[in-house]
A and B are shown apart, each in its own frame.
Chain A
Amino acid sequence: MRYLYALLLCASFVAPVYAKQPAYTVRSTEIKQQPFSDAATVATLSEKASVNILSRQGGWVRITSESGNGWVKMLSLRSDNTAAKQGDTGLQSLLNVGRSGSSGITVATGVRGLSEEDLKNAHPNPREFEKLQNYAVSKAKAEKFARNAKLKTQLLDYLPLDSKS
Chain B
Amino acid sequence: MFIRALLFSGLCLLFSFPAHAFDFDLQKVLSIAKKTQQATKTIDEPEEIEIGNGIAANLLGASSLLDDSRAQQYVNQVGRWLSLQTERPDLPWKFGILESTDINAFSIPGGTIFITHGLLQKLNNESELAGVLAHEIVHVLRKHHLAALQKGARMDIASDLAGEALKNKGDPAVLDKAIKAGTEVYARGLDKNDEFEADRMGIVIATRAGYDPYGLPAVLQMLEASNAQDSSLALMFKTHPAPRERLSLLDKIMSDGFDAYTAPAQTDKRFNSEVSQRK
Contact = CB atoms under 8 A, between A and B. Distances in A.
Contacts of B93: 136
B266 to A, nearest CB: 4
Contacts of A163: 253, 255
Contact of A114 (B98, B221, B251, B268): B98
Given A88-B229, A106-B234, A149 B266 contact: yes
Contacts of A85: 227-229
A122 interface: yes
Contact of A124 (B2, B78, B227): B2
A92 B231 contact: yes
A116 B235 contact: yes
Nearest to A75: B251
B209 A156 contact: no
A143 B212 contact: no
Nearest to B251: A75
B231 A96 contact: yes
Contacts of A115: 102, 234-235
Interface string A74-115: 111111110011111111110010000000111010011111
Interface stretch (A1-9, A41-49, A125-133): A125-133
A153 B57 contact: no
Interface in A5-27: 14, 16, 21, 23, 26
Looking at chain A's contact residues, is the secondary structure mostly helix, strand, loop, or mixed? loop
Nearest to B196: A161
Contacts of B270: 148-149
Interface in B45-94: 53-54, 56-65, 69, 72-73, 76-78, 80-81, 83-85, 89, 92-94
Contact of A150 (B61, B77, B200, B266): B266
A154 B85 CA distance: 9
A90 B235 CA distance: 13
Contact-residue size bin, chain A (C-beta under 8 Å from the other chain): 35 or more
B73 A135 contact: yes
Interface of B: 2, 6, 53-54, 56-65, 69, 72-73, 76-78, 80-81, 83-85, 89, 92-96, 98-102, 104, 112, 116, 118, 124-126, 176, 179-180, 183-184, 186-187, 200-201, 203-204, 207-214, 217-218, 221, 224-235, 238, 244, 247-248, 250-256, 258-259, 261-268, 270
27 contacts: A23-B225, A59-B259, A74-B221, A79-B225, A81-B226, A81-B228, A88-B229, A113-B100, A116-B187, A119-B183, A120-B180, A120-B183, A124-B57, A124-B61, A124-B179, A129-B53, A129-B57, A132-B94, A135-B69, A137-B77, A142-B77, A150-B264, A153-B209, A155-B208, A161-B200, A161-B252, A162-B252
* Closest 7 pairs between A and B when the two form their complex, measured CB to CB: A16-B124, A151-B210, A142-B80, A79-B225, A149-B266, A128-B60, A122-B62
Given A14-B268, A85-B228, A88-B231, 14 more contacts: A14-B265, A77-B221, A90-B231, A108-B231, A111-B101, A115-B235, A120-B180, A122-B58, A123-B176, A135-B65, A135-B94, A148-B266, A156-B208, A164-B255
